[in-house]
Structure 1
Amino acid sequence: MAGIYIHIPFCKQACHYCDFHFSTSPQYKDELVQALVSEIKLQKNYLNSETVETIYFGGGTPSVLAADEIQLLINTITELHTVASGAEITLEANPDDLDVAKVKAFKQTDVNRFSIGIQSFFDEDLVWMNRAHRARESETAVKRVQDAGFENITADLIYGYPLLTDTKWKQNLDRIFELSIPHVSAYSMTVEPQTALAAFISKKKQPPMNDQQSAAQFMVLMQAMADHGFEHYEISNFALPGKYSKHNSNYWQGVKYLGIGPSAHSYNGEVRQWNIANNAKYTKAIIGGKIPAETETLTEANRLNEYIMTSIRTMWGLSLNRLNAIAKGAADQLQVEAREFFDKEWITEKDGIIYLTATGKLYADNIAAGLFF
């Protein structure tokens, strides 16, 4: 069992908060698509013939590609790998790309899941973020995709930024429920270095983010999702039963994955590698038959910390037996480090599994760091 991630590094415009690798110039899009095809071929042995259960097109904005370009990449994968019947194939999309013609075209591909970047249902918020779409387009896009027969849909939302009052946040969540979207990824606004938002804050053109606001809105989020039958299966992810993202769930459970494209990461259980985050250099190297990637062989401590970081964030929790399978005696050592978090009631244990409490979910990153080897 394995997954394949394909990074599409193009966007119509740059969101003020985003630090992912992308370009707003589509000038060399055709060349890069061909480079992606070539890298899939160059990397054909990376997963050691394991069955591919998920394919995920991320970015950037994959929906800027034509449907036949997406299908070309899927076809290349299926020619070289055994892809499971009914494999989850996700396409990240912005609402403004999902017009009638585009949705109809994607319906003819093997894509069976959409991840739609809504972020907010308020136009003033979208302008503040420098998003390319407006609120009405979000609602139209969701309904259009549903009408075309796509039931497996997830929406992205952002909370914890100055314009978002608690009332507006509740209205955003209510709109999600009204639209019958079965999966939601909700992220607290973070200020990443080298972004426009960071520059605005440093120049005092924007106020800094408020941690108390983020925490309060996260609590509202958890309660609203629970009230509507959603399971909080990872810190930022909520799903109705059976609607989890298989691809992302595999990341958190340590399943192998291959990353294709500039800046994409790969992991085979022992080694992590990541491609250069430069479109021109990536394309040139691939054309020359080389994979422009750096690699890191994971130490025992790396593998322990990787498991702690990913598992503690999920509803499946951190298995002490699995820790010991990675390194003998690791569970005993971790339980010593975990005492302060048990005392604060941030974590709990049942049947050899450590879970975050509702309060602990506010401090997930701090808890993980405190448990690292």
Structure 2
Amino acid sequence: MSGLYLHIPFCKQACHYCDFHFSTSLGLKGSVVEAVVRELALRHAYLGPHAVLNTIYFGGGTPSLLSAAELDALFAAIHKHFAVAPDAEITLEANPDDLTPPKLRELAASPINRLSIGLQSFHEPHLRLMNRAHSAQESTVAVQQAQAAGFENISVDLIYGVPAPDHRIWAQDMAAAFALEVPHLSCYALTIEPGTVFGRQAKKGRFLPPPDEFVAQQFEMLLEQMQRHSYQQYEISNFCQPGRESRHNSAYWQGVPYLGLGPSAHSFDGHNRQYTVANNHQYVQAVLEQGHVPATIEHLTTLDRANEYLMTSLRTAQGCNLTYLRDTLGVDLHQQHSVYLRELHRTGLAELTPSILRLTNRGKLLADHITLELFQSSDSATTGSSTPVNS
């Protein structure tokens, strides 16, 4: 079981909250696609000789900017170098303004069988505040037209914690999303990152994010409404109808190996991580002209793997498997943090058994803090190292 991620680092315009690697200049788009095709040839052995792709994910950036010819070239290269499972989940992230009827017909004729649509909000002023390229009307129409084109497996993104006088806009956003009857919803709190427009504005006092209590109240509203509409929270920010989890993202959280292609993409082979340079020109030049992938390998110690497992597993509905953590990664939380674990259980922040630590809804509000408390320090193991690599 393996996954493939393709990073398409191009957008029509820059959202004010986004700190992913992307460019609003599309001049190198064709060259990046060509380089990703070449990278597939250079790194096809990364997942092992018998790897079968169960998931393929086009992320970005805005992969819906790819033309039909560019998608065809990428799929031809994928099938040339990998076996793809017949029932593979193949996801493409899309912005609503790209999903015109002709574009949807192109996508429906391709191997793509799942769309992840970045709506973010149905409220026009919030879309303008975030500098989204689509309108509130396009938020609804894009999903409806995708459904009419034959896409049933659809996820939509929403952002909460946007500055507002009260919670009415967030309540309306959730109601509009539920009305679309999509099987999957990803809902994220607005995060102010230093290198973003919002981050720079906040530093100058021109943007004031809402208080933590306001954001927490909207998260609690989200949990209540998801339960009311029979969506399961299988990860802190991800909700689905029964059995409709994102297979690709679930594999990430379970530590399944995956290959990431394109500038800024990450890969994981089960023991080490690889990070490709986050620069389109450098990436294209290295891959197409020099025949190597400009990347750095991070050699993960058992300590690194334990901390990563803690961070991801505590965000999921399954929780942290304490037996796996102890027997496979050598970390015994019952022994090392017995008092803290009992306190989490006593205060209703977590469910605790001899083999499982699972956060409650109240605990999920403090997930980052709880994880940091449980993180293993470098005093007990050797830290990982990073090595540049040409592949």
| Pair 1:99–1:302, CA change in 2 (3 A) | same
Look up the match of 1:18: 18
Look up the match of 2:304: 302
Contact 1:190–1:209 under 8 Å retained in 2: no
| Pair 1:279–1:330, CA change in 2 (3 A) | same
Look up the match of 2:234: 233
Q: Name the aligned partner's letter for residue 122 of structure 2.
A: F
Look up the match of 1:316: 318
- Map Cα deviations across residues 218-257 of structure 1 (whole Å, 9 max, x no partner): 0000000000010000000000011100000000111011
Task: Give distance in 2, aligned partners of 1:107 and 1:25.
Answer: 27
Task: Give distance in 2, aligned partners of 1:104 and 1:261.
Answer: 26
Look up the match of 1:348: 351
Q: Name the aligned partner's letter for residue 358 of structure 1.
A: N
Give the deviation of 1:130 after TM superposition.
0.3
Question: Which shows bigger deviation, 62-71 or 273-282?
Answer: 62-71
- Map Cα deviations across residues 324-344 of structure 1 (whole Å, 9 max, x no partner): 232345243354253332333
Task: Give distance in 2, aligned partners of 1:301 and 1:176.
Answer: 40
Give the deviation of 1:73 after TM superposition.
1.2
Look up the match of 2:379: none
Give 1:98-177 correspondences, 5 Å limit: 98-163=99-164, 165-177=166-178
Give 1:252-263 correspondences, 5 Å limit: 252-263=253-264
Give the deviation of 1:210 after TM superposition.
1.8
Contact 1:8–1:59 under 8 Å retained in 2: yes
Contact 1:125–1:163 under 8 Å retained in 2: no
SS at match of 2:115: strand
Question: Where does structure 1 lack aligned partners over 5 or more consecutive residues?
Answer: none
Contact 1:125–1:164 under 8 Å retained in 2: no
Contact 1:318–1:353 under 8 Å retained in 2: yes
Q: Name the aligned partner's letter for residue 19 of structure 2.
A: D
Task: Give distance in 1, aligned partners of 2:84 and 2:337.
Answer: 40
Q: Name the aligned partner's letter for residue 116 of structure 2.
A: S
Contact 1:303–1:326 under 8 Å retained in 2: no
Task: Give distance in 2, aligned partners of 1:327 and 1:200.
Answer: 43
Q: Name the aligned partner's letter for residue 141 of structure 2.
A: T
How does the TM-score come out when normalised to structure 2?
A: 0.93
| Pair 1:333–1:263, CA change in 2 (3 A) | farther
How does the TM-score come out when normalised to structure 1?
A: 0.97
| Pair 1:164–1:34, CA change in 2 (3 A) | farther
Contact 1:56–1:247 under 8 Å retained in 2: yes
Task: Give distance in 2, aligned partners of 1:102 and 1:313.
Answer: 35
Give the deviation of 1:164 after TM superposition.
7.0
Give the deviation of 1:290 after TM superposition.
0.8
Task: Give distance in 1, aligned partners of 2:104 and 2:327.
Answer: 46
Task: Give distance in 2, aligned partners of 1:62 and 1:248.
Answer: 17
- Given candidates 326, 329, 335, the residue that maps to 1:327 is 329
- Given candidates 344, 367, 370, the residue that maps to 2:370 is 367
SS at match of 1:294: strand
Give the deviation of 1:203 after TM superposition.
1.6
SS at match of 1:249: helix
Look up the match of 2:341: 338
Task: Give distance in 2, aligned partners of 1:98 and 1:325.
Answer: 48
Contact 1:55–1:89 under 8 Å retained in 2: yes
Look up the match of 2:295: 293
Pair 1:282-2:283 in alignment: yes
Question: Which shows bigger deviation, 334-343 or 130-139?
Answer: 334-343
Question: Where does structure 2 lack aligned partners over 5 or more consecutive residues?
Answer: 377-391
SS at match of 1:338: helix
SS at match of 2:292: coil
Look up the match of 2:37: 37
Give the deviation of 1:349 after TM superposition.
1.8
User: Aligned residues, how many?
Assistant: 373
Cα RMSD for the two superposed structures: 1.3
